[in-house]
């Protein structure tokens, strides 16, 4: 399978501070590829670079086999972008936003009008076509931005935290639409710090921290590699929880916030023990991507 995005040795500095420190990345065609990382890991910077919107301090970038930033125009013509923040045009209505944006791509009038109607349908905004942007809810704005990113029928769609701050209904709708797009053969590249989102959507992902790639693989493979299969979460007094968990076997114990985690290959004995105790609420579940993420990126807070 050929690579849609190919990044080698990317280095990016802001005021002498290195925010991306030698990233290699390859996104196969037709894949949904996730870039995970805490805030400030370099996710957004990486996306800006591959759209030719940010000069680099080192490395080679190719998108559709074209060099960046030299071929930025050609690459952006074939790419759709969902930015992190709302940048809809407040001077226009819903339909006008799509129409005006479509003109930047030089899309012929008839094609544009057809696509505009299809996309409003696709994101469920047909009824609101003539509404002003200020009257839309946060979820509607997000859906419109999503539709706008598709106005040029892109081969690659780049999404920077597409569901941050959305209610579950909109989030699920967008997840469904992303799966539709992947079905239709488009390549998706998304950043997120929602592990559930990454686990549901991504065929492959990288975990980024402090400008470096810590790990790469399919969600299942990463979970298998880095986390024990069973997890017990205990909420309550840490001292009590620690006592109950650590003395139960050879599993791995961690405390983050008000929750204690116990990772193990076989949780039966611990579960039995905890069931006999009062005052501790616990949850027994399979390991997920969040466990991997916290293990790899540590537990201290990021800004």
Q: Which stretch binds other proteins (CB under 8 A): 19-27, 70-78, 266-274, 290-298?
A: 70-78
Q: Which stretch binds other proteins (CB under 8 A): 86-94, 161-169, 253-261, 294-302?
A: 86-94
For residue 122, give the nearest of 77, 184, 203 by alpha carbon: 184
Q: Which stretch binds other proteins (CB under 8 A): 27-35, 90-98, 192-200, 237-245?
A: 90-98
Residue of the chain from 11, 29, 88, 296 that contacts other proteins (CB under 8 A): 88
Residue of the chain from 16, 106, 185, 276 that contacts other proteins (CB under 8 A): 106
Q: Which stretch binds other proteins (CB under 8 A): 84-92, 168-176, 193-201, 276-284?
A: 84-92
Q: How far is CA 124 from CA 120, 157, 165, 254, in A?
A: 6, 19, 19, 44
CB of 253 to other proteins, least distance (A): 43
What is the footprint of other proteins within residues 139-158 (CB under 8 A)? Answer: 148, 152
CB of 162 to other proteins, least distance (A): 14
Nearer to other proteins, 19 or 287 (CB): 19
CB of 298 to other proteins, least distance (A): 28
Report if residue 96 touches other proteins, rule: CB under 8 A.
yes
CB of 51 to other proteins, least distance (A): 6
Q: How far apart are CA 99 and CA 111, in angstroms?
A: 11
For residue 9, give the nearest of 26, 21, 22, 19 by alpha carbon: 22
Nearer to other proteins, 86 or 238 (CB): 86
Q: How far apart are CA 4 and CA 26, in angstroms?
A: 8
Nearer to other proteins, 97 or 264 (CB): 97
CB of 111 to other proteins, least distance (A): 15
Nearer to other proteins, 89 or 237 (CB): 89
Report if residue 16 touches other proteins, rule: CB under 8 A.
no
Residue of the chain from 66, 92, 204, 280 that contacts other proteins (CB under 8 A): 92
Report if residue 105 touches other proteins, rule: CB under 8 A.
yes
Q: Which stretch binds other proteins (CB under 8 A): 35-43, 89-97, 168-176, 242-250?
A: 89-97
Q: How far apart are CA 216 and CA 177, in angstroms?
A: 25
What is the footprint of other proteins within residues 192-251 (CB under 8 A)? Answer: none
Residue of the chain from 54, 164, 259, 288 that contacts other proteins (CB under 8 A): 54
What does the DSSP assignment read for the chain? --EEEEEEEEEEEETTEEEEEEEEEEEETT-EEEEE--TTSSHHHHHHHHTT-S--SEEEEEETTEEETTTHHHHHHTEEEE-SS----TTSBHHHHHHHHHHHTT--HHHHHHHHHHHHHHTT-GGGTT-BGGGS-HHHHHHHHHHHHTTT--SEEEEESTTTT--HHHHHHHHHHHHHHHHTT-EEEEEES-HHHHHHH-SEEEEEETTEEEEEE-HHHHHHHHS-SEEEEEES-HHHHHHHHHTT-S-EEEEETTEEEEEES--HHHHHHHHT-SS-EEEEEE--HHHHHHHHH-SS---
Give me the residues that bind other proteins (CB under 8 A), please.
14, 51, 53-55, 72-74, 76-77, 79, 81, 83, 85, 87-92, 96, 100-101, 103-106, 148, 152
């Amino acid at each position: 399978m050929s690579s849609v995005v190919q990044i080698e040795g990317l280095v990016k500095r802001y005021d002498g501070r290195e925010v991306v420190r030698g990233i290699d990345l390859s996104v196969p065609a037709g894949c949904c590829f996730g870039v995970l990382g805490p805030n400030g890991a370099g996710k957004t910077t990486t996306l800006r670079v591959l759209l030719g919107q940010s000069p680099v301090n080192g490395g080679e970038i190719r998108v559709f086999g074209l060099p960046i930033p030299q071929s930025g125009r050609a690459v952006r013509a074939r790419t759709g972008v969902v930015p992190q923040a709302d940048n809809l045009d407040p001077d226009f209505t819903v339909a006008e936003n799509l129409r005006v944006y479509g003109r930047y791509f030089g899309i012929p009038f008839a094609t544009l009008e057809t696509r505009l109607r299809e996309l409003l349908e696709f994101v469920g905004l047909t009824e609101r076509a003539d509404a002003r942007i200020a009257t839309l809810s946060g979820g509607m704005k997000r859906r419109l931005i999503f539709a706008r990113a598709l106005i040029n029928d892109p081969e690659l769609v780049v999404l920077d935290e597409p569901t941050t701050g959305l209610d579950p209904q909109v989030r699920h709708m967008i997840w469904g639409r992303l799966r539709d797009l992947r079905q239709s053969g488009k390549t998706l590249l998304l950043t997120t710090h929602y592990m559930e989102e990454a686990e549901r959507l991504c065929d492959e992902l990288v975990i980024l921290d402090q400008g470096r790639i810590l790990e790469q693989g399919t969600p299942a493979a990463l979970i298998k590699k880095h986390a024990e299969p069973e997890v017990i979460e205990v909420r309550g007094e840490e001292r009590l929880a620690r006592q109950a968990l650590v003395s139960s076997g050879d599993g791995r114990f961690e405390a983050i916030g008000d929750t204690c985690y116990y990772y193990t290959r076989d949780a039966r004995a611990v579960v039995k023990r905890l069931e006999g105790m009062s005052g501790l609420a616990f949850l027994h579940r399979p390991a997920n991507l969040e466990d991997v993420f916290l293990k790899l990126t540590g537990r201290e807070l990021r800004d």
